[in-house]
Chains A and B, each alone.
Chain A
Amino acid sequence: MMTQNNNWLMSDYFAGIKAGTPIWLSMFAFGIVAGILGVKLGLSPLDSASMSLIMYTGSGQVATLQLFHEASPPLIILVTVLVVNLRFVMYSASLAPHFEPLNKRQKLIAGYLLSDQAFIVSLLRYQRGEVGSKYRFYLGAALSLWAIWQLGTLVGAFTGAQIPASWGMELAAPLTFLALMFSALRDKPGVAAAAVSGVVAVSAAALPWHLNMLLGALAGVVTGMVLSR
């Protein structure tokens, strides 16, 4: 048994879990915020948790809850979720070459568990080429992040406590993405891509559906490509 345990600690699953740990705190915090919002807008804690299981998308859930609150028709909600989550297509395309050997079931699992955080953690590690089994590493990172998110929404939904703005919980996610951004910067075109993306995303902030984010990212990608030619 001992040797089995040791093997597990050396496994790619465990390496994935470990790589995700620095992000757990902000994932948990965002989960709590989403859980609280659900209850505040009239969902039962159980409904709020089911919603998290079915959708598993923080920005998508928050947008959905707000639209329900404004009594928007279902079609508007579906279109909003589609546009807010279009970035997942970019993530999917980036990870696809690494997941090519997987079978259908594994791909389905990998798809469901895909999050901003799991994508970044895995892709940055793949690019450095330090992973044995890419799928196991991904599963370790993505599944633990998924569990933390679900736990966060549960805690938020059941405590339903108001978190005062002075705590700055909203900052946890951007600060985490900030650290990841610097890890992702490795050449001048990459730095330019980040800079242009940030400026465009801020300038276009008035657009609906978080389109500013998508527009910023696309502008950044084009900038990087032009400069790296």
Chain B
Amino acid sequence: MEPKDFWFTIVGAGLITLVLRLSFIALSDVLKLPPLAQRALHFVPPAILSALVWPTVVIRHGQLDLSVHNFYLIATLIAAIVAWRTRNIFLTLLVGMAAFWLLQYWWG
């Protein structure tokens, strides 16, 4: 691809992303969401966060891997206990990464 086309594409992709981000924020004074939609938004954080976590650690190399050899999954499950008990991001990250490194060291 020509450099010019490359940058047109990048700028286009940036504009598309900006429009998606702005969508409802830009329209907030003219568009009022009906109560049903507002109730739906209440569930966006837990739903989207779960969707951001599990596929990454459960699908390895394009395959579903629920085995004990999937250290990404085991480390995440250990970290989940910490996250559940403490809701502390640092601690969750620390324990999860440490678990992953130890698993690699012992069985990797």
Known: A54-B14, A64-B9, A179-B83. 20 other contacts (CB 8 A): A74-B5, A74-B8, A82-B20, A90-B41, A93-B23, A94-B44, A96-B33, A97-B28, A124-B45, A168-B72, A174-B76, A175-B93, A177-B52, A177-B53, A179-B93, A181-B45, A196-B47, A200-B51, A201-B54, A221-B43
Contact B108 A166 (CB under 8 A): yes
Interface of chain B, main secondary structure: helix
Which residues 162-213 of A have a CB within 8 angstroms of B? Answer: 166, 168, 170-185, 189-191, 193-202, 205, 212-213
Chain A nearest CB, measured from B35 CB (Å): 11
Answer whether residue A55 sits at the interface, using C-beta atoms and an 8 A cutoff: yes
Chain B nearest CB, measured from A90 CB (Å): 5
Q: Evaluate whether A221 and B100 lie within 8 angstroms (CB atoms) in the complex, with A22-B90, A179-B92 already known.
A: no
Most chain B CB within 10 A, of A68, A111, A223, is at: A111
How many residues of B are in contact with the other chain, CB < 8 A?
70
Contact A181 B46 (CB under 8 A): yes
- Could you list which residues of chain B lie within 8 angstroms of chain A, going by C-beta atoms? 1, 5-6, 8-14, 16-18, 20-29, 31, 33, 36-59, 64, 71-72, 75-76, 79-80, 83-84, 87-90, 92-93, 96-97, 100-101, 104, 108
Contact A224 B43 (CB under 8 A): yes
Chain B nearest CB, measured from A142 CB (Å): 11
Nearest neighbor of B47 in chain A, beta-carbon distance? A220
Q: Evaluate whether A97 and B5 lie within 8 angstroms (CB atoms) in the complex, with A51-B10, A85-B17, A171-B72 already known.
A: no
Contact B24 A93 (CB under 8 A): yes
Q: Evaluate whether A176 and B51 lie within 8 angstroms (CB atoms) in the complex, with A74-B5, A112-B18 already known.
A: no
Interface size bucket, A side?
A: 35 or more
Q: Which residues of B contact A166 (CB under 8 A)?
A: 104, 108
